[in-house]
Chain A
Amino acid sequence: MAPSQASYAPSLGKLLKSLNGQTLEASIESLIYLLKRRQIKGDDCADATAHLLRQVVAKSKWSDVDQLLTRVQNVGSRLAQAAPHEPTIGNIVRRVMGLIRDEASEDRNADDFGSESVEDIQTLSVNAPQPPKPAPFTSRPPTLATVASFHASKAKSMFNLLSVADTLDSPATGASTPMSQAQPTSVSALRSEVLDGINEIMDEISQADDQIASFAEVQIQPGDFVLAYLPSRTVERFLVKASARRRFTIFIASLEPPQASSSNDPYAALRKKLNAGGVKMVSIASNGLMAYMSRVNKVIFSAKAVYQNGGLLVDSGASVAAQAAHAYAKPVIALGGVFKFCPEDPSDEIAGETGDSSSYVSYADGSKVDALEVENTVADYVPPELVDVYLTNLGPQTRHHLASIMADHYKPEDVGFSLIPGEV
């Protein structure tokens, strides 16, 4: 009985499980509070956002592309505002919005047999009088039914494709109003296409770490001394992958001085895996990492976000490591999937996010609590000139190629989506 319910506390896993049973609005609300309470953070944010937007597309009522875009944008900006410290949320929202725009323009092109240009369609749809919005809070039947209806409508649209004559025969058809007739089929088709697209994004997020790790052999050479600053999941996987083929030494810089007892070593599992591969792992305190810099060949850390200018949002302290590496002219490799690329410039506020004071000073220490003012900056900003290689799931990149990646993934009109206040 006990293991069946290890915990009551809400988490990403529980949220994802409950997505289907809950109403959309309740899911949004619980995600917002999970973000606010930091019960979902880091790379999980992107995953959670993608799952939630998938629900938005699947569950909310919309009859044309603009409604869907507004809906996604509303939800997205609420999420982004709930967690301004997690820029990846905004990236996923932009990606989904871009995806919808792409699918919509393809659809229309297909519907109109290419007779009209994309621009025309877009102006048309913008100017078209919008039907009254469906109440956003209407509860929907559970997704099982929704999925079933997808299949049905999909099948129907396939059917339509194959037998054009049948559609023409149907009594509702009027030759004079091709758009209105095309709408219902295109909505469901669009829906399924967008959902497929979101699934692809989710796959990309989940595979990013593995894809990045696949470049490990190229980046790490035998006999290297590698410094990893506060290794994240991405970095750990990268190192483990490298250890399979390469013999090297890894310095792990962690906030707390290395503990003699292995019980509270946060990297015990990593150490085990690396040792299995014959890689030596040395734990050092982050404030002493400069002393090791002369021995180190390269510095690796993972980015929380990569900004347009090439600057990085990183765990606090990584900036010092990057500067030290720069001073010693050692290459700095930043790991991060493409979904972490932010088409924005860094803002002061985000890098200045302060967290829990008690991670540095125990609240039990009365005299310190009274005497000290603890500012625990959670994140740091690394200026672009300190970063040598951006290792993404698409391969290693340099600063100069970032702009083209951004352009590939985001639509310029979605960049400022969160500035438009969402309907709460």
Chain B
Amino acid sequence: MSSKQGKGGAAAKAKKPTKAGTEEKREDVLQAVVLADSFQDRFKPFTVEKPRCLLPLAGVPIIEYTLEFLASNGVQEVFIYCGAHSEEIETYIHDSPRWSPNNILTPFTSLDFIRVSDATSVGDFLRDLDKRNLISGDFVLVHGDLVANIPLDAALTKHRERREANRDACMTMVLREIGEQPHRAAKARVITPIFAVEPSTGRCLQYDEMHPLQEDHYANLDPSLFKHPEFELRSDLVDCGIDICTPDMLALWSESFDYELPRKNFLHGVLKDWELNGKFIYTEIVDKGYAARASNLQMYDCISRDILERWTFPYVPDTNMVHGQSFRRIREGSCLEDSVIITRGSKVTKSVLGRSTTVGAGCTVTKSVIGRRCKIGKNVTIENSYIWDDAVIADGSSVAHSILANSVMVGEGSQIPPGSLLSYNVRIGDRTNLKPKPTPRISLFDHDRHPVVTDTSLVGEGGKGTLYQETLGGDDDSEDEEADPAILQTTLLYSLENLNLSSSSISTLASTDSFDSDQGDSHAGSYAAGDFGESRSRLSSFASYDSAAGVSKSDAFHSDAVHGLLDALRADDSDDFDSAKLEFMGLRLANNASDSSMRRAVAVAFVKRASELLSPENGGLEPTKAAETSLTSKRGAVKFIKEVGVGGDKPAIQAEFALALQKALLGVKGLEVARAGALLAAILQQLYNLDVLEEEGILAWWGDKRASENENLSKVKEKCHVLVEWLENADEEDSDEDEDDSD
């Protein structure tokens, strides 16, 4: 990694002089880069054993659709980036009669694999690509899970014209419109991309993402957006990840070494720093044709249905895109391959059945895909399910809306409830009814590919497999940001059950530059979103304010910031606070945190520290002493609170900080209300003495209705009564003597 950045820069420089020459010479060769690994866990447990792009989608590995899409658009040179399971992908392609680079029949003049051993994100791939200097002109960047039939010619021509007019037009994203009504593809993608687009030119001005679990349903608009005469905010676009890029775009990746995701990080960042890099990114919005990425299980489900309903034409089973396929379409919308036996008396509708599959008498198969050589017994009901090759489903079973991987066996009279994911070779015993909760996600391996012990209480007598344990958000930091919507993306069924959501839309826009009490209000509400289990009420659930799990998921910035500050406050060996401050500011910039979330983080950090000092193991200090130690033990901490935490002299702003402190105190675990009140009074007094808070600010807080919204808040507030009275009557000469009274 370390050498890469240096080299990347050098390569980018070295490329400049040679580029003009090569570009002229090879202008008519279209290149494409396929990202065959997305570094996500959304298809677990299936992807434990097989890469995502080789999972069958309506009987055909997903990558076939992607490569066929490239071939249909006249791409000649393809580079495939593989991460996990790279050998399997390479073997598959090399054995494929159509794509094998050794075969003269392949539509591509070259197809190369690139392995990057230490890549941990898509960003690493693209930085590596920049270093390699393989790309000579415009190229198409796609993901290995793309299903599309859109002709790219129009977009390519427009892109070329723009690039010739202006060298800084470095990328064109192809987006598919899906209308404003609720759409299954929109629901399945979970994350809603929001593009701010200049309608006349198609230039993309800002990019953001939203998902149903986020606390505030706002998209923050960059004020500079309003300098444009007109722009559209669009959330009705399916981002299928087809980008037409110039090599300059790769240089941008190299310049920003910490970008990982092509949209959330790269696009958002490049557009935000437009004034620095001066690059233009355009959108090509198409309203015809089909394009989608099987980016999660729900998209897999959605695309499979689209294929069955022929939206993806000509990429439908009876086109027989892959060598050796022989699907034929029969009445009732099903596609069957050779030697499929459907016993008389069974109903098969709108389904795809692979070669040599047998279906016994009395079965009902609807809207399902069944692979090759499957054996379906008698009186089986299969609905909306995807059953891969060699599966056996014994008599009298039923399978609903599930995915059954290769060689799964389901015993007699068993029931597979909706949302089940049965991985390779799992066996369900006879007369076993899987429980729908927790979602049956059964595998023979754990996430590190170690075999697991069979759990017979789950899979029944004679069964094999156990519940696959998720490792969501557990191991690395980059996952934390994704963790929230990822909960939705790892299931087959889109369900917002158990998740309390408000259903506001993006139509309300919060402007970043105006700061008023309204925004504070919305954040007060957002504290409650931390705990999904409780009902979303703005009044009652402040208890979840800082419950570690909930908040770390809902607000990465908050948890990171609080941890950072706490560590600095706890540190015994140094009394330096500057580095913590620096780190905090860095986090703030990286996350574009609002003033109120910063205030909240600072308040929580200091309150936590103070309450720790109260506890016996940390010395069991008195509230006054604890408040003083937490605030003053580190050099610069007070200044930090004044500048960053409070951030202004206005009474309203100071009152906000006091309110944040009050709420933070209630969130601290194991601190009874009375003591919390005492601590609050002590902290406020300290802050007053340190000139951080002024009299007007504290009084404004005292008068604020939000400070006494519920019982606990009022109780805590009551404890400060003395302090406030004292402040109200304060004369200049009273200072230190009355300190004890205020407790």
Contact = CB atoms under 8 A, between A and B. Distances in A.
Interface of A: 1-2, 4-10, 14, 23, 25-26, 29-30, 33, 36-39, 82, 139, 349, 352-358, 362-367, 369-370, 373-376, 424
Given A37-B72, A366-B184, A2 B161 contact: yes
Contacts of A8: 28, 30, 73-75, 152-153, 156
A276 B161 CA distance: 35
Given A39-B72, A358-B311, A369-B183, A364 B287 contact: yes
Nearest to B107: A30
A370 B161 CA distance: 38
Contacts of B313: 38, 355-358
B317 to A, nearest CB: 12
B309 A424 contact: no
B328 interface: yes
B181 interface: yes
A349 B526 CA distance: 59
Contacts of B186: 366
B179 A364 contact: yes
Nearest to B73: A9
Interface stretch (B318-326, B610-618, B661-669, B709-717): B318-326
A10 B153 CA distance: 10
Contacts of B161: 2
Interface residues of B, number: 51
Given A8-B74, A358-B289, A369 B329 contact: no
A355 B310 contact: yes
Given A37-B319, A355-B310, 12 more contacts: A2-B160, A7-B153, A9-B152, A10-B72, A349-B329, A356-B313, A356-B314, A357-B311, A362-B179, A363-B176, A363-B311, A376-B310
Contact of B311 (A6, A26, A369): A369
Nearest to B75: A8
B261 interface: no
B105 A25 contact: yes
Contacts of B182: 366-367
B11 interface: no
B495 interface: no
Looking at A33, A349, A374, the one whose CB has the most chain B CB atoms below 10 A away is A33
B725 interface: no
Q: Give chain A's interface secondary structure class.
A: loop
Given A362-B179, A364-B178, A367-B181, A37 B314 contact: yes
Contact of A349 (B290, B319, B328): B328
A147 B582 CA distance: 77
Contacts of A29: 98, 105, 107
Contacts of A23: 104
A196 B153 CA distance: 37
Contacts of A424: 323
A356 B307 CA distance: 10
B60 to A, nearest CB: 13
B396 interface: no
A367 B181 CA distance: 7
Given A10-B74, A362-B179, A365-B181, A357 B309 contact: yes
A358 B72 contact: no
Which 10 A-B pairs rank lowest in CB-CB distance, beginning with the nearest?
A366-B183, A8-B74, A364-B179, A356-B313, A366-B181, A7-B153, A29-B105, A357-B310, A8-B30, A9-B74
B177 interface: yes
A358 B288 contact: yes
B333 interface: yes
A373 B308 CA distance: 10
A287 B316 CA distance: 28
Contacts of B74: 7-10, 14
Contacts of B179: 362, 364-366
Given A6-B157, A358-B289, A366 B178 contact: yes
9 contacts: A33-B68, A36-B314, A36-B319, A38-B313, A349-B328, A354-B310, A356-B311, A363-B176, A366-B183
Contacts of B321: 36
A356 B309 CA distance: 9
B166 to A, nearest CB: 14
Nearest to A23: B104
Contacts of B269: none
B72 A369 contact: no
Contacts of A357: 309-311, 313
Contacts of B328: 349
B377 to A, nearest CB: 28
B72 A9 contact: yes
A274 B410 CA distance: 67
B151 interface: yes
B340 interface: no
B71 A33 contact: yes
B153 A9 contact: yes
A1 B27 contact: yes
A9 B186 CA distance: 29
Given A352-B329, A375-B333, A25 B153 contact: no
B184 A139 contact: no
B151 A9 contact: yes
A176 B502 CA distance: 98
A350 to B, nearest CB: 11
Contacts of A355: 310, 313
A24 to B, nearest CB: 10
Nearest to A374: B309
Contacts of A373: 309, 333, 350
B73 A1 contact: no
Contacts of B153: 6-9
B164 interface: yes
A263 to B, nearest CB: 15
Interface in B389-405: none
Contacts of B323: 424
A6 B154 CA distance: 9
Nearest to B161: A2
Nearest to A365: B179
Interface string B634-645: 000000000000
Nearest to A424: B323
A363 B105 contact: no
Contacts of B107: 10, 29-30, 33
Contacts of B71: 10, 33
A82 B326 CA distance: 10
A10 B151 CA distance: 11
A398 B42 CA distance: 63
Looking at B73, B151, B309, the one whose CB has the most chain A CB atoms below 10 A away is B309
A23 B105 CA distance: 9
Looking at A4, A139, A363, the one whose CB has the most chain B CB atoms below 10 A away is A363
A358 B292 CA distance: 15
A366 B333 CA distance: 21
B230 to A, nearest CB: 22
A365 B186 CA distance: 11
Contacts of B289: 358
Contacts of B183: 364, 366, 369
Given A8-B152, A362-B179, A37 B160 contact: no
Nearest to B184: A370
A139 B104 contact: yes
A367 B328 CA distance: 29
A356 B313 CA distance: 5
A385 B320 CA distance: 35
Contacts of A364: 177-179, 183, 236, 287
Contacts of A14: 74
A25 B107 CA distance: 12
Nearest to B326: A81
B340 to A, nearest CB: 15
Given A366-B184, A424-B323, A37 B68 contact: yes
A323 to B, nearest CB: 22
A279 to B, nearest CB: 32
Contacts of B104: 23, 25-26, 139
A369 B321 CA distance: 25
A33 B333 CA distance: 24
